[in-house]
Amino acid sequence: MMARRLLTQRSVQFLSTLLARQSKRIPSRGLQVLPSKPETTQHTSRHLRPIGRHSKCQRLMSEWVYSKSLRPEFDMQEICDNIEQIAENVRHRKGDADVHEVVELWKRLKCLEKEMSDFQIEEDRLNLLKDQIRETEDAFYQSASRLPNRTHPEAPWGEEDEPQLVLLVGEKPKFTFSIRSHYELGEHLDIIRIKNLGHVTGHRSYYLKGAGAMLEHALIRFTVDRLLGRGFRAVTVPDLVQPIVFEGCGMRTKGLHTQVYQLDRRKHDRNLCLSGTAEVGLAGYFMDRVLDVEDLPQKVFAVSQCFRAETTHSAEAKGLYRVHQFTKVEMFCVTTDDQSECIFDELVAIQKDLFAELGLHFQVLDMPSHDLGAPAFRKYDIEAWMPARHGYGEISSASNCTDYQSRRLRIKYRSKEGDLRHAYTLNGTACAVPRVLLTLLECNQERDGSVTIPNALQLYMNGKTVITKPSSGLLHHTRL
């Protein structure tokens, strides 16, 4: 009995030390911040719960954590068996996860659960164990959620590695005159307004008007028609999504450099974020679902507004390349593990066909480990030639996320043998409108400042073949 009490005391001391060390890292993990005012806690989402009021960790971890029903389903056997390989993968992907800490917390949790299974335990000790298990679970899931996906063995490996060129399509346009940038063309043709918007929206925003707005609609309709022809199903997604779905997709909603806009919880009844890509809403559609293997692969797409904070200071601040809100057509697929490579190739093939039909000159790049982000197992970027930049700019990407997102969002399928397995998810940009639009304007400009419309889009522009400067009906903006 004395030995058990001594072991219990040491266990409590060990847990307190571990949680204290753990708490120093938690503020940057992207989970929801616990409101400082007690009266705001009545609006807690049923999907998230705060750490107990009398918990030892409340002073250390003022964050929202996963409720038991929505916790990720990590493959801890694989993690425990490959600690050093995973640690190396984290380093190469510039992650901040600590796999040794994850395993340590996991083992501690198993010890506590085993101790709790002792039916002879006193009631006071039982209540203490429940608190310890809950706190250790919270620390474990927050730590494990920061682990990145595995890296494809053929992807460029290492922090210094550059993207590997996979394919080069088309030729750079040649001009015999001094070219204009897309925003100069937009102002000349009166189809884009970028200047003097500080009193309306602030920087990195824009208006499309006249033929510019029609060109956006043409790009969307062109892309949608091609995706429907490839067997994709259209879905309309919400723009407001709960943070836990973002986290499940591998996107952090908190932190200094987050790209996610979040609504003020004090003024709304729950935590909601503005989606930066339809990938989040599409992944959420399949969240907590079990699909039949006969129904896979699922291939869907959505046209949505995308909202991004764009906190990085970039030379791209002027124009359409990096903006806070834009329209995008996004592809999303749910597959079995053995279907994912084939579907990844299909997504890239669709992207290549779309951009080739628009007459763009572009390159396909296999991205290195340090540029994959957290969820991608492998990622291809497509960069188009943008004359005014005198270089290439990203217009699209495709990612195979394997079971990274499905384990966090509990997306499963039932195999022919009847057992449940985690599905694989993939995503790809079919058309990021502003970047494709700026590329088309710059590559198809003429000496007089007009722009030739690609043949593939003329059908969607009511037969219009050239965008010229209008002679009347201009919507000019003059500051008072």
Which positions make up the binding site for ATP?
A: 308-310, 323-326, 394-397
Those residues whose C-beta lies under 8 Å from the C-beta of residue 67, and which sit 6 or more positions away, are: 46, 47, 48, 49
Cβ(425)–Cβ(436) below 8 Å: no
Burial of 441 (0-12, 13-18, 19+ CB in 10 A): buried
φ, ψ of residue 122 in degrees (nearest 5) = -70, 155
Those residues whose C-beta lies under 8 Å from the C-beta of residue 435, and which sit 6 or more positions away, are: 320, 321, 384, 393, 394, 395
- Residue positions forming the annotated binding site: 277, 308-310, 323-326, 330, 394-397, 427
Q: Tokens in use for 188?
A: 């000349």
C-alpha torsion angle, residues 353, 354, 359, 365 (rounded to 10): -70
- Residue positions forming the annotated binding site for L-serine: 277, 308, 330, 427
Helices (H), 145-277: 182-188, 211-229, 243-248
Max Cα–Cα distance, the chain, nearest Å: 95
Buried b (16+ CB within 10 A) or exposed e, 352-381: bebbeebbbbbbbbbbbbbbbbbbbbbbbb
Residue among 317, 321, 327 nearest 202 (CA): 317
How many CB atoms are located within 10 Å of the residue 180 CB? 19
Q: Tokens in use for 351?
A: 């992207």
Using CA atoms, how far apart are residues 213 and 216, in angstroms rounded to an integer?
Answer: 5
Using CA atoms, how far apart are residues 378 and 374, in angstroms rounded to an integer?
Answer: 11
How many CB atoms are located within 10 Å of the residue 189 CB? 22
